[in-house]
Amino acid sequence: MQDDATILNDTLDRLLSARVTPGLLRAAEEGTWPGALWQELVGLGLTEIFRGMSDRPWRDAAVVMRMAGRHALPLPLPETILASALLPEEEFDPLEPIAIIAWEEGEEAAWPWPDQVRRAIGISRDGTAHWLAREGEIGAPARSLTREPRHAARVKRGFSSGADARLLAALMRAAQMAGAIERVLALTVEHARTRVQFGKAISAFQAVQHQLAVLAGNAAAAAASVDAAFARQDRSEMPVRGGMAVRDTMAERDMMVAKIHAGEAAGLGAAIAHQLHGAIGFTDEHTLHFYTRRLWSWRAQFGNESEWARELGRTICAAGADSLWLAIATRD
Amino acid sequence: MQALSFEPCELGPETDVLRARIRAFIAEHVEGLPPELRAQSWSAADPEFSAKLGAAGFIGMTWPRHYGGHAMSALERYVVLEELLAAGAPVGAHWIADRQSGPLLMRFGTRAQCERVLPPITRGELFCCIGMSEPDTGSDLAGVSARAVRSGDGWCVNGTKLWTSGAQVSHYMIALLRTSTESKHGGLTQFLIDMKTPGITVRPIRDLSGAAHFNEVVFEDVWLPADAIIGKEGEGWNQVTAELAYERSGPERFLSSFRLLVELVRVLGQNPDARAAVAIGRLAAHLITLRRMSLAVAAKLALGEDPALEAAIVKDLGAVFEQEIPEIAAALVPVEPSLDHPRAFERVLAQVIMIAPSFSLRGGTREILRGIIARGLGLR
């Protein structure tokens, strides 16, 4: 990681460690918008990554998205950053939180933070992105496992683009998952080193050590696949803003790979973390669930790992057995 | 908790020419070989193939020219290795000499040792094996008991090495021997042993697949000259552990059953059902990521860093992946594996099923690797 990205990473880690407390997370899940924190994050220029001076905006976006996942940030910051890359300049206001949601034409939307978030990008199953505004009364609750406040809502559709925005949204979730898995690993290592049973820390047991080694390996694979997909976005010559008219098949491949890996590591990592935490990690009082509930939710959003694996598998099989290696052995 | 990092690594455009060269070599010398032989990949020793590969300049690629090398970068070498492995080239004869023995000698050996051994390695004419495990010493390697005792102006060796891959075709062994019983780790020394020395008996051991890749090597009063020592007396343990990142992170740690994946895609056809497509897509995703992680380790090694922890992760994940391929292939294609079936899939499946147990044993067992990772996490 280069210096400016490291500085961004460390600054954000310190800030979110101080601000995103269990108290703030619990209040957010009961419907309190952490408005002061939103102002502070916007004030740092984080929603303007794609309009700033950085020559590698996707790398910087990845840092923020991972940190948001690492701290279970209960604000649509990753979504707003991705929206800034997708929307035409004149539609984007860096102060305004924007959601990115799954949405099909003619249906009501499951709309997060309906009192604070007025506009969203709705992504349909075929990959089209629709610019949406919320209309009318707020409907029934439609919470996900993240417990982010979310309600049924009627929408007014603005323009649509033919872009494959769904993969970019999947990549955003993959980055958040990579961050949350890192946190889950750190919490579990800490627990294993401090929890004493049979007269010793449970980290002394090989059965525990090996489970954590599996978790660490899968966390590293998820992070590596996410980093690679973002690095390719910065190299890709295909414009994202206003719709990707031309497809970059290598970028698509890497985004699929990232969502597949992060999703698998999410399932496996959450299971290992809960097993090693024992009953305390299953309680509401403990903080582990802030991360594992998000992992279970994000894993399913914008295409789960089977959906993207099927897509990738079809492409590979269509090219035939003797082209398999050619699809793997690329230079970057 | 030690920080892990697998930085994305790009191969330069200069590697395209090299990749085209090795692909042309493979088209000529590998593609006509039987699929079940290609499925054995780096386990299969073929000295004639190694000589052709050496003559074409693909062995000792990163070594200096005065030792017969080609002064290329580690990442250029990586491109050649992954192409050979993906094609299932029978690279077993020279594999260890190229990967480990040459670099070890250049790092710790004398100039005379290098001049004697390295040039014929690069020609694909001289092969090496590694004498580490013994009948009572496997994962607990520091328990080595084969002894070298001072005798005249040299050393006298007695003991037995076991599971020594390729000893029957090798010209030299790099052996880890006990030179002192006062310290478990500090009493070990590495020796360069000419396999023609009187008193050495090599007994091939047939494995469950019917092949005999590994061996028992017995030393009975084998006399070695003083200059057989590699590096320093008593430094064997440190020297051996310095090799491990090279041994554990290469493309051979995730491509061992790649030929079966190719045959599986062939049998599934160009329009597979959803279940098969999901399985192939998932395996491809894992392969792409393992390769990235392995390349990231190669780039670190090239910078002189010691990514031992990252290498252990690549090998652990790689072995899981290599062992999943036969499981998934057998689940998707309900046929009986057969060594003599007219279709390649059945033969390759049979071959890979039989060798798959070794993937998580050789080069550090799964349990040892996970112990190393746990130590990196600060658990022990």
Q: pLDDT (tens digit, 9 = 90+) per residue, B138-171?
A: 888 999 999 999 999 999 999 999 999 999 999 9
DSSP 8-state code for residue B2: P
Per cent of chain B over pLDDT 90 is 90
B residues 276..295 contacting A (CB < 8 A) = 276-282, 284-293
pLDDT number for residue A161: 84
Give B254-309 as a DSSP string. Answer: T-TTHHHHHHHHHHH-SS--HHHHHHHHHHHHHHHHHHHHHHHHHHHHHTT---HH
pLDDT at B245 over 80: no
Among the partner residues A1, A209, A218, nearest to B379 by beta-carbon distance: A209
ipTM passes above 0.85: yes
B residues 341..360 contacting A (CB < 8 A) = none
Residue B244 and residue B253: Cα distance in Å, rounded?
13
**How many beta-carbon pairs under 8 angstroms link A with B?**
177
Tokens found for residue B202: 């090599």
Average pLDDT of every residue of chain A:
94
Phi, psi angles (nearest 5°) of residue B339: -75, -20
Give A115-148 as a DSSP string. Answer: TT--EEEEE-TTS-EEEEEEESS--SB---TT--
CATH of domain B130-235: 2.40.110.10
Residue among B215, B209, B207 at smallest CA distance from B169: B215
B10, B372, B377, B380: best to mutate for the A interface, most A CBs within 10 A: B377
Per-residue confidence at B247, pLDDT binned at 50, 70, 90? confident
pLDDT at A206 over 60: yes
The whole-angstrom distance between A238's CA and the closest CA on chain B is 19
pLDDT at A244 over 50: no
C-alpha dihedral sign at A166, A170, A173, A179: negative
Per cent of chain A over pLDDT 90 is 88
Residue B204 and residue B212: Cα distance in Å, rounded?
6
pLDDT number for residue A245: 45
Contact B287 A193 (CB under 8 A): no
pLDDT number for residue A2: 57
Residue B242 and residue B306: Cα distance in Å, rounded?
8
Q: pLDDT (tens digit, 9 = 90+) per residue, B82-116?
A: 999 999 999 999 999 999 999 999 999 999 999 99
The whole-angstrom distance between B373's CA and the closest CA on chain A is 6
Tell which CATH architecture fits domain B14-126.
Answer: Orthogonal Bundle (1.10)
Per-residue confidence at A237, pLDDT binned at 50, 70, 90? low
Residue B124 and residue B351: Cα distance in Å, rounded?
26
Q: What one-letter code names the amino acid at B255?
A: L
> Could you tell me where in chain B the CATH 1.20.140.10 domains are found?
249-376
Contact list, B266 vs chain A (CB under 8 Å) = 320-322
Residue B245 and residue B300: Cα distance in Å, rounded?
10
pLDDT at A15 over 50: yes
When mean pLDDT is compared across A147-156, A159-168, B38-47, B333-342, the lowest value belongs to A159-168
DSSP 8-state code for residue B11: P
- Which chain B residue lies closest to A212 (C-alpha atoms)? B374
pLDDT at A241 over 50: yes
Residue among A126, A131, A127, A91 at smallest CA distance from A109: A131
Among the partner residues B272, B277, B379, nearest to A212 by beta-carbon distance: B379
Among the partner residues A1, A320, A331, nearest to B11 by beta-carbon distance: A331
Among the partner residues B268, B290, B370, nearest to A317 by beta-carbon distance: B268
Residue B42 and residue B91: Cα distance in Å, rounded?
5
Q: How far is CA B292 from CA A170, A195, A261, B314, in A?
A: 20, 36, 13, 10
- In sequence order, the β-bridge partners of residue B45 are B91
Contact of A321 with chain B, judged by CB distance below 8 Å, is answered with yes
CB A61 within 8 A of CB A171: no
Kindly state the average pLDDT of the residues B17-29: 97
Contact list, A264 vs chain B (CB under 8 Å) = 282
DSSP 8-state code for residue B137: B
> Could you tell me where in chain B the CATH 1.10.540.10 domains are found?
14-126
CATH of domain A165-328: 1.20.140.10
SS3 content of chain A, % helix, strand, coil (to 5): 60, 10, 30
When mean pLDDT is compared across A118-122, B2-6, B233-237, B325-329, the lowest value belongs to B2-6
Contact A204 B380 (CB under 8 A): yes
pLDDT at A14 over 70: yes
C-beta neighbour count of B203 within 10 angstroms: 13
CATH top-level class for B249-376? mainly alpha
Contact of A325 with chain B, judged by CB distance below 8 Å, is answered with yes
pLDDT number for residue A248: 81
Contact B265 A316 (CB under 8 A): yes
Residue A203 and residue A93: Cα distance in Å, rounded?
49
pLDDT at B3 over 80: no
Q: Is B210 exposed, middle or buried (0-12, 13-18, 19+ CB in 10 A)?
A: exposed
Contact list, B23 vs chain A (CB under 8 Å) = none
Q: Is A48 exposed, middle or buried (0-12, 13-18, 19+ CB in 10 A)?
A: middle
Residue B189 and residue B176: Cα distance in Å, rounded?
6
Contact A324 B6 (CB under 8 A): no
Contact A212 B284 (CB under 8 A): no
B residues 312..331 contacting A (CB < 8 A) = 313, 316-317
pLDDT number for residue B138: 87
Contact list, B248 vs chain A (CB under 8 Å) = none
Residue B372 and residue B380: Cα distance in Å, rounded?
9
SS3 content of chain B, % helix, strand, coil (to 5): 50, 15, 35
Q: pLDDT (tens digit, 9 = 90+) per residue, B345-372?
A: 999 999 999 999 999 999 899 999 999 9
Kindly state the average pLDDT of the residues B58-74: 96
Domain-by-domain residue ranges, chain A?
Answer: 1-74, 97-162, 165-328
C-beta neighbour count of B125 within 10 angstroms: 17
> Could you tell me where in chain B the CATH 2.40.110.10 domains are found?
130-235
Contact of B3 with chain A, judged by CB distance below 8 Å, is answered with no
Q: pLDDT (tens digit, 9 = 90+) per residue, A248-284?
A: 889 999 999 999 999 999 999 999 999 999 999 999 9
Contact of A213 with chain B, judged by CB distance below 8 Å, is answered with yes
Residue among A319, A280, A296 at smallest CA distance from A176: A296
Tokens found for residue A313: 């598998």
Average pLDDT of every residue of chain B:
95
Residue A57 and residue A80: Cα distance in Å, rounded?
14
Kindly state the average pLDDT of the residues A189-193: 98
Q: pLDDT (tens digit, 9 = 90+) per residue, B266-302?
A: 999 999 999 999 999 999 999 999 999 999 999 998 8
Residue A217 and residue A226: Cα distance in Å, rounded?
14
A13, A188, A225, A252: best to mutate for the B interface, most B CBs within 10 A: A225
Among the partner residues A189, A213, A217, nearest to B378 by beta-carbon distance: A189
**Helices marked H in B88-126:** 92-96, 102-108, 111-122
Per cent of chain B over pLDDT 70 is 100
Among the partner residues A223, A309, A332, nearest to B281 by beta-carbon distance: A309
Per-residue confidence at B259, pLDDT binned at 50, 70, 90? very high
CB B88 within 8 A of CB B259: yes
